[in-house]
Structure 1
Amino acid sequence: METSPINIAIVDDHTLFREGMAALLCEFSEINILFQAGHGIQMQQMLQKENAPDVILMDINMPLMDGYDATAWLYKNYPEVKVLALSMFEDDVSVIKMIKAGACGYVLKESRPRELLNAITHLHERGSYMNELVSRKLLKNVKEESSKLLLTKRELQFMKLCCSELTYKEIADKMFVNHRTVDNYRESLFLKLNLKSRVGIVLYAIKNQIFNFKENFQ
């Protein structure tokens, strides 16, 4: 018994890349391309409720409406449409931001046609495509988010003061505690966050955007 092809759309602002990908995917009988769009707004104009694609291959950097906003809009208005992020970027921020916007998978543009077909098929059949790249980024993000949740209000206050020019004695005075209590806060952060120095605490706070440094440290 023959199965129906997977209806897809390609949203990417690079015309040559978009059309080249469409040509490659058309070689597979499992795929039917409904339309192509150069950005999120054009995608919105081409979508039809009665004939929406099963999967949309979504670029990230696009004019007018980028992949993050387009994916978030789809998640709200067409929740049945699965987004497979397709990008040149593999940094933590891009991967996590697309997943949080509603993407169900993430592959690199350098992937081979057969790899891309596998990702589309897997996403269509199981609802998500978590390859090694995405799994590694998500695991790291979950660990970082979990470590933040483990911090007490006083530990966060101590961390914030560590990002200033205050000495440990001045931090103790600011928090109305003795130096031994401040030492305990410091050692607790070292243990929970696997850090070894005050510099490490400051770098952790900056990297994870725990505080608004422009507002608090001008």
Structure 2
Amino acid sequence: MINEVIHIAIIDDHTLFRQGLVHLLSESGEIQVIFDASDGADMIKKIASHTPLPQVILMDITMPVMDGHASTLWLRKHYPDIKILALSMSDKETSIMEMLRSGAMGYLLKESKVSEVITAIKTINNQGFYINEYVSGKILNTLQKNDIIEEKGKKLSANELRFLELCSSELTYKEIADRMNVSPHTIDNYRESLFEKFQVRSRTGLVVYAIKNSLIKI
């Protein structure tokens, strides 16, 4: 039985990397690169003129004009049947999670072997997703962090949350005490309790932590 050739596109602003990957994947006999583009804007220009459409798109993240996040969101809206595999130099959990949330079905580092890239393309095309052990570990770590943050948020009292909100203002601690109708000593207790819970040492640290983890809105 002859394996079906998978049509793909490669979107990456590094010309040498992109052209090298086109050559290596084409040599496999299982992958046909029907076009490549330097960024999302270039992709939009080219995709409309290609028949058949790519089944899978390999997407870099950091690109000029239109990056991988914006390109992935655009594809999910206009070509929802095309599957997207993020291919990036970044191993940060935030990069991985942001691309997956944008609509990518898998994530690989550019240092991956060509054989794994081919496996990922075939798996995404057939099963709809590809998550290797490295990426699954990053996802699990992120989920565990979110659980810890959520648990910390649940343990805050209404007064502590109110104190956090007022900390993001220009009010002094004494003015915060007056606003909350409590003593300055009580405000000191709120502050020290939150310092310990969030492992920070300053008012600025409190506010930054609270904003980053959606405990308060400004």
TM-score by length of 2: 0.77
Q: Deviation at 1:80?
A: 0.9
Deviations 1:15-71 (A, max 9, x none): 211110011111212212111111112211222485211110011122222111111
Same amino acid, percent of matched pairs: 46
Residue 78 of structure 1 corresponds to 79
Does the 8 Å CA contact 1:172/1:182 hold for their aligned counterparts? no
Q: Deviation at 1:209?
A: 6.7
2:45 partner amino acid = Q
Distance 1:153 1:4 in 2: 60
1:107–1:160 distance in 2 versus 1, CA, 3 Å: same
2:97 partner amino acid = I
Does the 8 Å CA contact 2:164/2:216 hold for their aligned counterparts? no
Residue 160 of structure 1 corresponds to 165
Residue 5 of structure 2 corresponds to 5
Q: Does 1:195 align with 2:198?
A: yes
1:197–1:16 distance in 2 versus 1, CA, 3 Å: closer
Distance 2:16 2:41 in 1: 19
Residue 110 of structure 1 corresponds to 111
Q: Does 1:29 align with 2:34?
A: no
Please, which moves more after superposition, 104-113 or 140-149? 140-149
1:33 partner amino acid = V
Give secondary structure in 2 for the equivalent of 1:26: helix
1:105 partner amino acid = G
Give ranges in structure 1 of 5+ residues lacking alignment. none
Distance 1:174 1:67 in 2: 46
1:185–1:133 distance in 2 versus 1, CA, 3 Å: farther
Residue 94 of structure 1 corresponds to 95
TM-score by length of 1: 0.77
CA RMSD, aligned part only? 3.2
Distance 1:106 1:77 in 2: 21
1:124 partner amino acid = N
Deviations 1:148-189 (A, max 9, x none): 4646765433223445686766544332346558847964x5
Distance 2:134 2:213 in 1: 20
Give ranges in structure 2 of 5+ residues lacking alignment. none
Distance 2:21 2:133 in 1: 23
Give secondary structure in 1 for the equivalent of 2:27: coil
Residue 16 of structure 2 corresponds to 16
